[in-house]
Amino acid sequence: MSRRAILPAKGMPDSINTDAPENADELQGDDSPEVTIYELRSAPNARRVRLDQFITRSVENASRSKVKLLIEAGGVVVNGAVITKAGRLVCPGDMVVCTVPKPPPPDVLPENIPLEIVFEDDEVIIVNKPAGMVTHPAFGNYSGTLVNALLFYTDSLSHERGDDRPGILHRLDKDTSGLLAIAKTARAHQVIAKQFADHSIDREYQAIVWGSFKNSTGLIEAPLARHPSDRKKVAVVEGGKYAATEYTVLEDYGFISLVRLKLRTGRTHQIRVHMAHVHHPVFGDPTYGGRRIHYGSVTGRFKSFIHELLILLPRQALHARTLGFVHPVTEERAAFESPLPADMREALDRIRAYAAAE
């Protein structure tokens, strides 16, 4: 059984308390093959609204027709009582609990998708994931993922996280490039997953970010939780889960900097949210403000230059450059590195040339 506290849809005056999961590689928690339970509380100052409307607006991807069927089937409880009338009004402070049977996910099929293998032995595979590739199948992405490619590449993958996520120990956002560790055996999965849980994995990223930092090194400590009005985003929220990111400025061009980032914790969207929180959003990030001009001149030449950079980088300029962990068999420290991808290298070349000409 999977129990989820789900934030209401945008514009709804209803609210509940929720946050990101401990292993914040995903916004969603682990899924159950049986049911998912959504707990939704109407805010004290909320207006009264029909039950089917309240649920449809509060649960992502819910349709009015499906919600109505769920209510009529007895799958919705309001303040401890089963409600079968879709028109029942939800009042301020009401607790609505929906028990939704989960359809089985479609079969995850092998697909002949090229992979860049950085390292492989009998226990692990280290993959350099390109930007644009989803790590594992999920709603709306059941093909073209790294998992589809891995299933075609090898029959040796751990299934500790289920048949739809074979080998997956952690993930990178779709438009973040870089290194991922894949477990081939149950032993490797258990040993390396524990290192992720203990925050003893070495992970360093490089990012092109907006602006110039006051200090060349620093530590960002800001608690993270789901965004209070947009459940697809993460935000710095008082009472959220502790999150810490170390940064080092590698190159500073005034309006843009190249930084190295080290994770002390591994929360969902941690780097992207922390950078935006300190007013240095990752360049090109469409979710956290990276596609707006934050620093630099107001000249037409500068705006044109930035426009061209954003065309070159239609994604966040974030790359998982290094990955290190204790090998599950040799018990020695293994470390891997991936150079910046071509789009980030070209962007940096253009930035350096522009800065030199100023």
Query: What are the residues whose beta carbons fall under 8 Å from the beta carbon of 188, sequence distance 6 or more?
Result: 123, 124, 158, 328, 329
Angle, helix 342-357 to helix 300-312, in steps of 10 degrees = 170
Ordered per-residue pLDDT tens for the chain, 358 residues: 444 443 333 333 333 222 222 333 333 333 344 678 888 999 888 899 999 999 998 887 788 888 999 999 999 999 999 999 999 999 999 999 999 887 666 788 999 999 999 999 999 999 999 999 999 887 667 789 999 999 999 999 999 988 889 999 999 999 999 999 999 999 999 999 999 999 899 999 999 999 999 999 999 999 999 887 776 789 999 999 999 999 999 999 999 999 999 999 989 999 999 999 999 999 999 999 999 999 998 899 999 999 999 999 999 999 999 999 999 999 999 999 999 999 999 999 999 999 999 8
Residue 16: predicted pLDDT: 29
Query: What are the residues whose beta carbons fall under 8 Å from the beta carbon of 351, sequence distance 6 or more?
Result: 208, 253, 256, 309
Residue 23: predicted pLDDT: 33
138 shares a domain with 82:
no
150 shares a domain with 292:
no
Determine the length of the chain. Answer: 358
Residue 5: predicted pLDDT: 43
Give me Rg for the CA atoms of the chain.
Answer: 22
Q: Which of 197, 223, 257 is the last residue of a domain?
A: 197
**CATH code of the domain in which 13 resides:** 3.10.290.10
| 173 among known catalytic residues | yes
* Residue 318 host element (H or E): strand 318-326
Task: Kindly name the residue from 14, 52, 164, 173 that is annotated as catalytic.
Answer: 173
138 shares a domain with 83:
no
64 shares a domain with 43:
yes
Reading the block at residue 348, the tokens are: 């940096």
Q: What is the DSSP letter of 251?
A: E
Q: Determine how many CB atoms are found less than 10 A away from the CB of residue 322.
A: 17
Our CA angle for 28, 34, 35, nearest 5°, is 60
Residue 279: predicted pLDDT: 97
Q: Give dist(CA 123, CA 26) in Å, integer.
A: 24
Q: Give dist(CA 187, CA 158) in Å, integer.
A: 9
What single string gives the DSSP state of each residue in 123-159?
SEEEEEEPTT--SS-BTTB-SSSHHHHHHHH-S----
Residue 4: predicted pLDDT: 47
246 shares a domain with 216:
yes
235 shares a domain with 344:
yes
Q: Give dist(CA 138, CA 117) in Å, integer.
A: 23
Residue 44: predicted pLDDT: 86
- Cβ-contact 245, 274 below 8 angstroms: yes
Residue 60: predicted pLDDT: 76
